[in-house]
Structure 1
Amino acid sequence: MRYGEEFLGVECGVARHLNEVDWAATSLGPVDGWSLSLKAVIRTALSSRQPMSFWWGEDLLQFHNDSYAPMLGNRVNHSIGRPFREVWPDVWDAVYPFIQMALSGKGTWQENMPLVMRRNGYDEQTYWTFSYSPLYDDDGRIAGLLNTVTETTQAVADRKALEEAYRDAQKHLVERAGYEDELRLLNRELAHRMKNTLSMVQAIVSQSLRNATSLTDASAIIAARIQTLAKAQDVLTGMSVTAAEISAITNAALAPHQDGADRIHLDGPRVYLSAQQALGLSLAVHELATNATKYGALSVPQGRVDITWSHHLGDDFTFDWRESRGPHVLQPTRRGFGSRLTERIVSDLFKGQAKIDFAPDGVVFSLVGKLHQVADLDH
């Protein structure tokens, strides 16, 4: 804004535009003939640092001060002395009701009013806080209106950004609370699984030592059983914190006994077991496969093992191990820990009945029980 010129004794940047207007050609006439009221308002507005404009006369010719000029955009050089409607055609309809109120003697106040303007060659969404007040001539009649205004476009944008940031922060807090809940659940499950595993390891070691014929024999048996537990844990960890699919658990337990001859057949639907049931069934399959490899169907080339399971309505579950084409089976004279584990522990875990039948034509293991509810898989 260039200073150095005056208008009605006030030095200001817009003085040049005021002096360039041919006022005699307007409805206001020459400056010398202007009323004292008009001159007083002009001097007040030009001296103020508050953005201010006003419109005077029957054509509502525009005046404004230096602080208001930046709001005009590319209209700044051709707005003073022109009618309100010509200077602001893009917002005229929106502000006309407020103009009417001010010209009727009632002041107005609008806060953050949205207006779409074309002041820089393109449409832009702007926001304004302003007041229109009536202006009076020397005879006390309303001759125009005063506009004290602040553009709040950036303030509204900042507020919207702050509100969005607040909503994002709230969302992140909710997500964080969810993650913390999941972490607590995970920690509880891991602690629970660790206790179960340690209990099972303790039982394996204790019973294996009690029934072994030598420390070397005990060491081998314990190592094999704990390795089976470890494989089952790997499957659980790879699939889910709380559950594992039965075929994955069964295949992991059978892996050391597969000889590539396709003599072990699995058949059953996709069923998920709780961590505890998966560990128990894995040990049972390990014991059955170990005995089959030593004495049963897997000890001869033509032997076969069929493993089937089913999941009925509700939580009913059956699991069957059936050996065939193997050596003639003799009823054992002593039941070891492996048999007791296969029958008692598994039946308890599945809240049902499990039984090994040493039939002459092949060992049969049958389990009838209940699957843990999905909602209970993390307990």
Structure 2
Amino acid sequence: MFDSPFPICLWIGPEYALLYNDAYRRILSAKHPASLGQPGGIVWAEIWEELQPQFDQVRRGGDPIFFEDAPFTMARLEGGASDLAWFSYSLSALRAEDGSIPAVLNISPETTPRVLAERQVSFERDRLSQMFAQAPTFMALLSGPEHRVDLANGGYMQLVGHRPVLGRTVAEALPDAVEQGYLTLLDEVFATGRPYLASGAKYTVQAQPGGPVNERYVDFVYQPLKDAAGQVTGIFVQGADVTDRQRQELELRNSEEKLKLMVLELNHRVKNNLATVQAIAVQTLSGDRPAAQMRESFLQRISALATAHDILTQEQWEGATLHSIAKRVLSALAAASDRVHVAGPDASLSSKCALALSMAFHELGTNALKYGALGAGGGYVTLSSAVEPGGRLKLEWRERGGPAVQPPSRRGFGSRLLERGLAAELNGSVELMFEQAGLRCLIAASLDC
């Protein structure tokens, strides 16, 4: 008994004097060694009222007693502190040759770690079940090659029209999904073990044969579940109903189409600027950039042109000044506009020259904000002007304090607009110099271009 790894003790005589092995010492904790030979009512005074009737029953010759995971609050820690512990223990009579019962044999392994671990697992399982049930996305757990629905949360039930799917195969419960090819996809995932993802997939829900049809769009994944041997045992279905998003995107596409029509109408009405607007639209909306980015660039360039139109309208389209065009166009750079310094004499520009320079300042300012000096905290731009005898305007755009400049590998629309279109519009020249310290742009134009 004393060599056993299990906690074993004898409770001897009518007072139940305690004799125990080394394994039982761990149960006694701070009560050891003072408990050796002491009566049970002293050793476990805090729980003796519950234990004594059990011991008395066995000592009177009753059947053995066994309790599994019985909880006790025991004052066994240092300083008499208590802790809650669980035990699976047995009490049985130890008989003498004459049939009397001089002692009660007690085997009591402590099960506290296991009980606490099981409670934690149960807590986590309940929490996961709540998360599964309350998740805003739809979820379902399918088992076996027939894809039997073992679990389905509220989102999934709503998607399939609250049909009775639990315990049934997909083929039995969702014939509309079978007709649309979703069963074939499930079979492929189960056979290959590879997940399947879809975005914006159409699912036409018909909860009752011959009933109303509800068209939904979903993002979803079929995730195969595998056992320890790597064999697929089921499929986890998770996704979101994105019908509202799809409809909004359709509305957005329709709005963009309407916007293009409005732009075409504007081009028609503003005949004097038709060529410029057409060039902007063709160059900006081409290429492989995202539609939103192309749209943003296009609208920014139109806005710069509109700013010049506002100024010219105020001046009855008789022209505008250099400083007014520069400050109004560059004010679109928001806080960065404070780091653009306009220097040199002002000059009166023709309407054609004002429109051309407004586009030039927009391209230079936007480029500086994205890639040049205005994108850095300490960077700045100086726009200086000079008017030569004979009515020639000289402009210099100089960027400093930004990142080191590298000559581009290809010319974008902005560069082409400056070097080709602007030079032609101004009846002058434009030179872009990609100096390491910052971009320089030299513009020469006729004031009456």
TM-score range, shorter chain: 0.3 to 0.5
- RCO higher in structure (CA 8 A, sep ≥6): 1
Pick the structure with more helix per residue: 1
TM-score by length of 1: 0.46
TM-score by length of 2: 0.39
Please identify the structure whose Cα radius of gyration is greater. Answer: 1
